Amino acid sequence: MEQFRPRLQQAAEQLNLDLSEAQQDTLLAYLDLFARWNAAYNLSAVRDPAEMLERHIIDSLSVVNLCGTSADDTSPLIDVGSGGGVPGIPLAIVHPHRPISLLDSNGKKSRFQFQVASQLKLANIDVVNQRVEAYQPEQKYAGVVSRAFASLQDMVAGSEHLLAPEGRFYAMKGKIPEDELSALPKGIKVERIHALSVPGCDAERHLIVLSRTD
């Protein structure tokens, strides 16, 4: 995967991310594991490692400093419907002091996440193999993030019990889903919509930040 380092470095510069050499090494090792496990476990419809880098890792890097109050936020975050570990694993690599849970009901995907966390020594990752509505954490999360997991309405309904009182939802979307925004339940407001400039991606990308009104 060393051949992808220049592209990763270029994308990080475009995103104003200062990735250390060790973080680059870990992201590339994650890409390698993703590509190898995907052949047997069908983690993603994307098969080409170069495309995985663009559509999964670089896309995830576009939000790593937007899912909290600051780049050095250490409050716990949960990635709901994490699948192959995006955006949770890139978030954990860039912010190693932030506790990040990866939640998925698919056992194969959770096993892959556990393998990545173990092999790459990502001590801040906690893998949760449960359905979102069944998971009852001891500590609520400051942030619930999802990437193409569900509609905003379903995301809020399914995971609001995971969120701390002052917590926020972070939903990675393509175009701004006006119909989903208008269907948000009472008590939930749109705090901010970030237009994302994802290197190498011409399609619209947005991060929608939701919070409680009370």
Domain boundaries, the chain: 63-212
Q: What is the pLDDT of residue 193?
A: 98
Whether the predicted pLDDT of 114 surpasses 90: yes
Mean pLDDT, residues 11-22 taken together = 96
Q: What is the pLDDT of residue 99?
A: 96
* Cβ neighbour number for residue 165 with a 10 Å cutoff: 7
Averaged confidence pLDDT in the chain: 95
Whether the predicted pLDDT of 179 surpasses 90: yes
Q: What is the pLDDT of residue 72?
A: 76
Identify the CA nearest to 24 among candidates 13, 35, 40. 13
Length of the chain in terms of residues written: 214
**To the nearest whole percent, how much of the chain has pLDDT over 70?**
99
Residues 138-164 pLDDT 10s: 999 999 999 977 899 999 999 999 999
Distance CA 68, CA 53 (A): 24
Tell me: domain 63-212, CATH 1.10.3720.10, correct? no
The residues, any chain, with a CB within 8 Å of residue 114's CB and separated by 6 or more, are 127
Q: What is the pLDDT of residue 28?
A: 98
**To the nearest whole percent, how much of the chain has pLDDT over 90?**
89
Q: What is the pLDDT of residue 26?
A: 98
Find where tokens 């339940």 sit: 185
Identify the CA nearest to 148 among candidates 206, 105, 200. 206
Q: What is the pLDDT of residue 150?
A: 85
Q: What is the pLDDT of residue 60?
A: 97
Find where tokens 């104003």 sit: 16
How would residue 39 be classed by pLDDT, with cut points 50, 70 and 90?
A: confident
Whether the predicted pLDDT of 71 surpasses 90: no
Find where tokens 């990502």 sit: 122
Q: What is the pLDDT of residue 68?
A: 85
* Secondary structure class of 46 (helix, strand, coil): coil
